[in-house]
Amino acid sequence: MTYIAKPRLHHPSLACNALGYTRRDYEGRVSTLCAGCGHDSISAAIVRACWELAIEPHRVAKLSGIGCSSKTPDYFLSPSHGFNTVHGRMPSVLTGANLANRELLYLGVSGDGDSASIGIGQFVHAIRRGVNMVYIVENNGVYGLTKGQFSATADAGSVSKKGVVNTDAPLDLVGLALQLGASFVGRSFSGDKEQLVPLIKGAIAHRGAAILDVLSPCVTFNNHAGSTKSYDYVREHNDSINRLDFIEPRAEITVDYAPGELIEVTQHDGSLLRLRKLDAAYDPSDRVAAMNYLHERQAAGEIVTGLLYVDEGAQDLHAHLKTVATPLNTLDTAALCPGAAALDRINAALR
């Protein structure tokens, strides 16, 4: 619940994007999360990515489930319609919304409890279908809103604030997304905005299911020694495989790199993903290699971050269903109703 209203006044020197909007136009209400919560950094990254891409804020639909992370759509993009749905069921609502109007940008925000436990089925099937969306999991390994129970992404051996050791094997949402056919898969860390913002921009420009697993420490219930989702732990074990530069279609490309240092991926809208390799052997267009790499590094105790996989030629659910280009919610009676004469013919065939 937000009691404090944000002042609407802008500083005159605030920069404007191509649409004439300042970054403030992409903000939301004042966050009610704990001070230092990783989720607030992710909200800020979303604001920055949308502002930099000059997305019309009202052309975004932001959807979430239930939990701390699912509260965040209220804290960014106030001019967008938002929908705080049912616990674990954001993917189906987002899928339906996307079917109704394929022209909006669908941003799903969820948490590890919402997506990896109660909502694992919907997470899985929305990815399988190739719903055109940006799906961000704000992953902290813990149920924050109910005060500190382990979630399904908590690592075995991780210790809770109360001293309980988690014995269950963890779910790896990135590994799962790769296996399920997600066409844009990235992992990042709420504390690394330079990595996160370009990843969000790439995901927005991507057509298909774009999954971002963002480690986002819970400062209140999971930021202590013994936790594998704390700020310190993630920083120490972060194995960043590449640095992404997102280049819009209209931008001129000027920087030169030595061969082998760079991978360029052109997405369907003409935008360019330029990856500066931190690991020379890593190829983000190879799904199987990505899965292997992920498992190897995981076994070594590392958390792989960066753009793990991208398929620039991916098709989305609308292409699979062959729906018309016109948004279904704008079709009128004439386009939908076959009329009385057709009904007479049906009647005649049923006699």
Partner 1 sequence: MNPITAVNDFVVKFANVNGSGSASANELFAKAILRMGVPVSPRNIFPSNIQGLPTWYEVRVSEAGWLGRRGGVDLMVAMNPQTWDADLKEIEPGGYLFHDSTKPLPKSKFRDDVRVLAMPITQICNATYSDPRQRQIFKNIIYVGALAQLLGIETQVLETLIGEQYRNKPKLYEPNVHALRIGRDHAREHFSAAPIGLAVRRADAVGQRIFTDGNSAAALGCVYGGATVCAWYPITPSTSVVEAFDKYCGKFRTDAASGERRCAIVQAEDEIASIGMVVGAGWNGARAFTATSGPGVSLMTEFLGLAHFAEIPATVINVQRGGPSTGMPTRTQQADLIACAYASHGDTRHVLLLPQDPHECFEFAASALDLADRLQTPVFLMSDLDIGMNQRLCEPFAWDDARRLDRGKVMSAAELEAGKDFGRYKDVDGDGIPWRTWPGTHPSKGAYFTRGTSRDPYARYSERGADYVYNMQRLLRKFDTAKTLVPQPLSRKAARATAFGAIHFGSTAPAMDEAISTLEADGLALDTLRIRAFPFADSVAQFIAAHERVFVVEQNRDAQLRSMLINEFDIDPARLVPVLHYDGTPITARFIIAAIAGQLREAAPHLHPVEAVRA
**3 or 258: CB nearest partner 1:** 3
- Choices 221-229, 235-243, 252-260, 316-324 (CB under 8 A): range interacting with partner 1: 316-324
Residue 91 phi/psi, 5° resolution? -60, -40
Answer yes or no whether residue 99 interacts with partner 1 by CB under 8 A.
yes
CB of 171 to partner 1, least distance (A): 17
Answer yes or no whether residue 181 interacts with partner 1 by CB under 8 A.
no
**57 or 144: CB nearest partner 1:** 57
Answer yes or no whether residue 27 interacts with partner 1 by CB under 8 A.
no
Label residue 53 exposed, middle or buried (CB < 10 Å: 0-12, 13-18, 19+). Answer: middle
Alpha-carbon span 47 to 237, nearest angstrom: 27
Alpha-carbon span 92 to 104, nearest angstrom: 16
**169 or 335: CB nearest partner 1:** 335
Answer yes or no whether residue 83 interacts with partner 1 by CB under 8 A.
yes
Per-residue binding string, partner 1, 2-21, x by CB under 8 A, is x-------------------
Lookup: tokens for 216: 């986002």
**98 or 216: CB nearest partner 1:** 98
Is residue 115 within 8 Å of residue 69, measured between CB atoms? Answer: no
Alpha-carbon span 216 to 230, nearest angstrom: 8
- Binding-site member from 74, 114, 172, 311 for partner 1 (CB under 8 A): 74
Alpha-carbon span 286 to 283, nearest angstrom: 6
Q: Give the distance between the most distant pair of CA atoms in the chain.
A: 77
**79 or 181: CB nearest partner 1:** 79
Compute how many residues bind partner 1; rule: CB under 8 A: 63
Tell me the angle at which helices 287-299 and 173-180 cross, rounded to the nearest 10 degrees: 160
**87 or 224: CB nearest partner 1:** 87
Within 8 A by CB and 6+ apart from 277, the residues are 241, 242, 260, 261, 262, 263
Answer yes or no whether residue 1 interacts with partner 1 by CB under 8 A.
yes
Task: Give the Cβ contact number of residue 329 at 10 Å.
Answer: 11
- Binding-site member from 6, 10, 59, 235 for partner 1 (CB under 8 A): 59
- Choices 9-17, 96-104, 214-222, 301-309 (CB under 8 A): range interacting with partner 1: 96-104
**258 or 325: CB nearest partner 1:** 325
- Choices 41-49, 196-204, 269-277, 319-327 (CB under 8 A): range interacting with partner 1: 319-327
Alpha-carbon span 215 to 238, nearest angstrom: 10
Q: Is 238 helix (H, G, I), strand (E, B) or coil?
A: strand
Is residue 213 within 8 Å of residue 137, measured between CB atoms? Answer: yes
**55 or 272: CB nearest partner 1:** 55
Show contacts with partner 1 in window 115-134 (CB under 8 A). 121-122, 124-125, 129
Is residue 222 within 8 Å of residue 161, measured between CB atoms? Answer: yes
CB of 298 to partner 1, least distance (A): 27
DSSP string, 109-135: EEEHIIIIIITHHHHHHHHHHT--EEE
Give contact residues for partner 1 (rule: CB under 8 A).
Answer: 1-2, 56-59, 61, 63, 73-74, 78-86, 89, 91-101, 103-104, 121-122, 124-125, 129, 317-318, 321-325, 328-333, 335-340, 342-343, 346-347, 350-351
